[in-house]
Chain A
Amino acid sequence: MTTDDKLYTGAQMVMESFLREGVDTIFGLPGGANLPLYDVLENGGVGIRPVPEGVVPKEYPIRHYLVKHEQCAAHAADAYARVTGKAGVCYGTSGPGATNLVTGIANAFMDSVPLVCVTGQVISALIGRDGFQEADIQGITIPITKHNELVRNVNEIPRAMQEAFYIATTGRPGPVLVDIPRDVLQHTGKFYWQDKVQLRGYKPYTNGVDRDEVAKAAELIEQAERPIILSGHGVIISHAFAEVRELAEKANIPVITTLLGISGFPGTHPLYLGMPGMHGMYWNNIAISEADLLIGVGMRFDDRVTGRLKDFAPKAKIIHLEIDPAEIGKNVKPDATLRGDAKASLRELNKHVSHKPRERWFSWLDEMRRKHPSIVIRETEEVLPQYVIQQIYEATKGDCYVVTGVGQHQMWAAQYFWYDRPNSFVTSGGLGTMGFEVPAAMGAQVAAPNDTVWSICGDGGFMMTLQELATIAEYRWPIKFAIVNNNVLGMVRQWQELFYKNNLVATPLKNPDFVKLAEAFGILGLRAEKKLDVKPVIETAMSHPGPVVIDFQVKYDENCYPMVPPGASLDETIDQPTYAFEPKRVSDERRKVAVR
């Protein structure tokens, strides 16, 4: 326990906790109930004491970015957390401010992203009495937070904050909400800080790796003739990049990444096979159905990955490396389980594996890829959305962060881009939140100020959060927004076409002029209507020092393939329909054949 004799207000305590936790960034928007938190920003409580060791002192140790809608504060903090690996922090006031955070919190919860959300609450005397702007945000967020707390006493604030960061960032990460009434933020007290957080009901660590299970897993790998590594988001969370790669190379096993696992393994590595599942590579889905061993690392066998569960990987034994006991055996029953942090487990496992040629497996995979190209760009008059993504890849060579919205463009960004930078792909997987593309790009840019951030946007999603262009213009974040503008809620239109007899109800969009819109915010707007425009427009955007919005006018009714129809199993994947002319295969140059 540490304390000093100084009296702190509740708001200063929050700030002091941030400093001790190494927080440098807050996204938020003020209101009556959280004003005390704003009153101590960038003056008084902040920056007057030496910053803790290891934290680089800045002009202001903590910067607050004013968003235009609290949902975007939560999404920006979410992306900031994904890129840095630290907890993202956001603020909202009571009532509507807090409820506006809800979508962002749910998004972070589904994708195991560490967030600390601090909301102002109405004064204690009004709680439970329908006070002005009162919402029971603790009650509302119980199912979508890892933990939450309503702090009723000023002396509890440091403990609550310390626990919030501890809970958010350890074990399986997740969002934590701390709700503080305005009067509690104004009361004064002493600041007690524990040396170590101790929670009787929370044990995020395991006692090392279970040696028996490691031996069992190593034996399964040794025996396997057709093994696959399924690398997930947990690999990125635990920074196990080098360890997954070592397992793959040492034991000579091909790697598939889930949507959220993308950029956990080098995209142009010869052992890399791309994404599985609903819009995964055809060869992957068939390979999973043929495999005799699946090594799931930090992934939760989501239904978009497995297809119809009862027919998932019928021939495979399963090794599951997973930190959350509730995930083990939830969807598939593992034959060996390495519970704990993926990095630690892999390090142990890697000691016990050895190289096997697996020639038949690799030539089978190779044959599959030859027969079923899965990703192809046809020669067309119109601009194909896939072409736009591929051209952005060609222009950047993947040296950037890629943020996406949700829909077809998201899938194409996963399929037609090769992520050779670790942890460079930021997308909303579990909740699938349209509108993520704009605020998440902000968070990524703040987290990586010296890198380029490309946001691949849906026209539908962009329209959900575009008010943040004002924020982007204000802070001059040089984000490149590529709107894959098909003038339609494309993914839903595809479902209507395929499963609802093409009954296109409520999917076509009447969009504004995105170029003029950007200009109205003081942002450079560009447009590409023809294929020939695409490259130059990307180049202009890249050479422009500020933010850019590009309106790529793409084919309206392009479908996203491969596709596992809803309810079908992976071996019923529909590959690209055959086209009348020979398509240009994108896969050839990038995904080299993995025969050894």
Chain B
Amino acid sequence: MNGPSAQMRSGFGKIRPHTIIALVEDRPGVLNRIASKWRQRGFNIESLAVGHSEKPGLSRMTFVVDADTNAEQVVRQLDKLIDVVHIRDVSHEDIVSRELAMVKVKADRETRSHIIDIAEVFKAEVVDVEPDSIIIEATGDENHIDSLVNLLRDYEIIELVRTGRVAMLRGPEVSHPHEEDDEQYERAPGIHTW
């Protein structure tokens, strides 16, 4: 889960982790097909979030991939998959991105209120309190979550789970426009003449 090093970022003069969003058929095997393409090119998927979209039968995916500019080639290859309805690299676009984290922290009578204070500062919610532990749920971009997690490290984190990034374009535009049906033409029958 470590982010790319500063050297990697500057080395190529490009932002390495790409945020890619896709509208895909909600069918078995979709994930397998997509993952297979990234694997083939040796790109590591840093995070992946999948869920239903506003369209029935279609899921929306957000994935963050550690890749150089060649990501474009892979995105085009992914676009060719029958199960991928629309795909888009939004790394350079104006997006809102969020992720959700749940952090289970060791907490006793003494530390509990400190932890709750921290949660409040981060607009995080306390979703479970037990005599020896507390679960905090936080939403925000990665930096926000990273900072929260860093502070909570002082109190012994028992378990940490993060959803990975979900992203969406700002403004009224839909990230995956509906494409008009293309005009079809029949390929000429097999005439084998010069």
**Interfacial chain B residues near A208, Cβ < 8 Å:** 183
Tell me if A239 and B191 are in contact (CB < 8 A).
yes
Quote the shortest CB–CB distance from A347 to chain B (angstroms): 10
Partner of A142 from B36, B179, B190 at Cβ < 8 Å: B36
**How far, in Å, is B31 (CB) from chain A's closest CB?**
11
In the assembled complex, the Cα of A142 lies from the Cα of B76 at a distance in Å of 17
B58 within 8 A of A: yes
Q: How far is the CA of A170 from the CA of B186 in the complex (A)?
A: 9
Is residue A480 contacting chain B, with contact meaning CB distance below 8 A? Answer: no
* Interface stretch of the complex, out of A292-300, A323-331, A361-369: A323-331
Segment 313-357 of A: residues with Cβ below 8 Å from B: 324-326, 330, 341, 343-344
Q: Would you call A85 and B190 a contact (CB within 8 A)?
A: yes
| Residues A330 and B73 in contact, CB atoms below 8 Å apart | yes
Alpha-carbon distance A422/B73, docked complex (angstroms): 33
Q: Is the CB of A84 within 8 A of B190?
A: yes
Docked complex Cα distance between A202 and B24 (Å): 11
Distance between B181 CB and nearest chain A CB, rounded to angstroms: 8
* Nearest CB of chain A from residue B115's CB, rounded to whole Å: 44
Contact, CB under 8 Å: B182 / A341: no
> With the chains together, A203 CA to B185 CA distance in Å?
12
A113 vs chain B, min Cβ distance (A): 14
**Is the Cβ of A201 less than 8 Å from the Cβ of B25?**
yes
B193/A205 in contact, CB under 8 A:
no
B85 within 8 A of A: yes
Whether B144 sits at the interface, judged by CB under 8 Å, is no
* Cβ A241 vs Cβ B194 within 8 A: yes
Q: Is the CB of A242 within 8 A of B190?
A: no
Which residues of chain B from 116 to 174 have a CB within 8 Å of any chain A CB? none
In whole angstroms, how far apart are the Cα atoms of A326 and B76 in the complex? 5
Q: With a CB–CB cut-off of 8 A, which chain A residues contact B37?
A: 143
Do A200 and B85 touch across chains, with their CB atoms under 8 A apart? yes
Most A CB atoms within 10 A — which of B24, B25, B28, B194?
Answer: B194
Give the residue name and chain of the B residue nearest to A198 (CB).
B181
Residue A207 is within 8 A (CB to CB) of chain B in the complex = yes
B192 pairs with A143, CB closer than 8 A: no
Q: Which residue of A86, A138, A206 is within 8 Å of B182 (Cβ)?
A: A206
Q: Which residue of B lies closest to A143 (CB)?
A: B36
Identify the closest chain A residue to B29 (Cβ): A138
State which of B28, B29, B85, B187 has its C-beta within 8 Å of the C-beta of A201: B85
Indicate whether A266 reaches chain B with its CB closer than 8 angstroms: yes
Task: Say yes or no: A241 contacts B85, CB within 8 Å.
Answer: no
**Residues from chain A with Cβ under 8 Å of B79 in the complex:** 325-326
- Report chain B residues within 8 Å CB of A245: 194
Instruction: Tell whether A147 is near chain B: CB-to-CB under 8 Å.
Output: yes
Partner pick for A238 among B29, B83, B86, B187, CB 8 A cutoff: B187
* Contact residues in A for B73 (Cβ distance below 8 Å): 326, 330
A207 and B183 form a contact (CB under 8 A): yes
Check if B77 is an interface residue, CB within 8 A of chain A: yes
Q: Are the C-beta atoms of A343 and B82 separated by less than 8 Å? A: no
Contact between A199 and B82, CB atoms less than 8 A apart: yes
Residue B80 at the chain A interface, CB threshold 8 Å: yes
Please indicate the chain A residues that have their CB under 8 angstroms from the CB of B187 in the complex: 170, 238-239, 341, 343
Is B188 engaged at the interface, CB distance under 8 Å to the other chain? yes
The one of A150, A201, A207, A324 in contact with B83, judged by C-beta atoms closer than 8 angstroms, is: A201
Interface string of A75-110 (1 = CB under 8 A from B): 000000000111000000000000000000000000
B194: which of A167, A205, A324, A422 is its contact (CB, 8 Å)? A422
**Which of A170, A202, A206, A423 contacts B192, CB < 8 Å?**
A423
Give the CA-CA distance A201 to B183 in the complex, in Å. 16
User: A239, B29: Cβ atoms under 8 Å?
Assistant: no
B33 interface residue, CB < 8 Å from A? yes
Nearest Cβ distance between residue B78 and chain A, in whole angstroms? 9
Q: How many residues of B contact A (CB 8 A)?
A: 33
Is the CB of A577 closer than 8 A to any CB of chain B? no
CA–CA, A242 and B40, complex, Å: 39
A contact residues around B76 at 8 Å (CB): 325-326
Report A122 CB to chain B, min CB distance, Å: 17
Query: Is A44 positioned at the interface, with any CB of B under 8 Å from its CB?
Result: no
- Contact of B25 with A142 in the complex, beta carbons under 8 Å: no
Kindly state the separation between the CA atoms of A439 and B40 in the bound complex, as whole angstroms.
30
- Give CA–CA (A147, B80) in the complex, Å: 10
Whether B96 is near chain A, meaning CB under 8 Å from some CB there, is no
Are A203 and B182 CB-contacts (below 8 A) given A143-B40, A330-B73, A423-B192?
A: yes
Chain A, residues 56-87, CB within 8 Å of chain B (1/0): the string is: 00000000000000000000000000001110
CB contact under 8 A between A139 and B32, given known A200-B58, A324-B80, A326-B76:
yes
- CA of A207 to CA of B29, assembled, Å: 30
A245 vs B192: C-alpha distance when bound (angstroms): 13
State the CA gap A238–B80 with chains docked (Å): 19
- The distance in angstroms between the C-alpha atoms of A55 and B118, with both chains bound, is 75
Whether B101 sits at the interface, judged by CB under 8 Å, is: no
Residues 265 to 312 of chain A near chain B (Cβ within 8 Å)? 265-266
Cβ of A325: which chain B residues have Cβ within 8 Å of it? 76, 79
Q: CA–CA, A510 to B107, complex, Å?
A: 77
CA distance A223 to B194 in the complex (A): 27
- In contact, B80 and A205 (Cβ under 8 angstroms): no
A236-267 residues with Cβ-Cβ distance < 8 A to B are 238-239, 241-242, 245, 265-266
Asked if B84 is an interface residue, CB under 8 A from chain A, the answer is: yes
Bound state CA distance, A350 and B40, in angstroms?
40
**A548: min CB distance to chain B, Å:** 26
In whole Å, how far is B131's beta carbon from the nearest beta carbon of chain A?
A: 43
Q: How far is the CA of A423 from the CA of B194 in the complex (A)?
A: 10
Residues 16-72 (chain B) with a chain A CB within 8 angstroms = 24-25, 28-29, 32-33, 36-37, 40, 58
Q: How far is the CA of A139 from the CA of B28 in the complex (A)?
A: 11
Separation of A167 and B83 alpha carbons in the complex (Å): 12
Query: Once the chains are docked, how many angstroms separate the CA of A345 from the CA of B24?
Result: 31
Contacts of B84 in A (CB 8 A): 201
A147 to B81 CA separation, bound complex (whole angstroms):
7
Contact A142 B184 (CB under 8 A): no
Taken together as a complex, chains A and B put the C-alpha atoms of A86 and B189 apart, in Å, by 10
CA A390 to CA B3, docked complex, whole Å:
62
- Complexed CA–CA distance, A530 and B6 (Å): 70
Instruction: Find out whether the CB atom of B25 lies under 8 angstroms from the CB atom of A343.
Output: no
Residue interface mask A133-156, B partner, CB < 8 A = 1: 000001100110011001000000
Having A143-B37, A423-B192, one finds 12 other A-B pairs with CB under 8 Å, namely A85-B190, A86-B190, A167-B82, A199-B82, A200-B85, A201-B24, A207-B182, A239-B192, A241-B192, A326-B77, A326-B79, A421-B192
Listed by A's residue number, 12 A-B pairs whose Cβ atoms lie within 8 Å are A138-B29, A143-B40, A147-B81, A150-B29, A201-B24, A201-B25, A241-B192, A241-B194, A265-B194, A330-B73, A341-B185, A422-B192
Which 7 A-B pairs give the minimum distances between C-beta atoms?
A: A326-B76, A85-B190, A201-B85, A422-B192, A205-B182, A147-B82, A200-B85
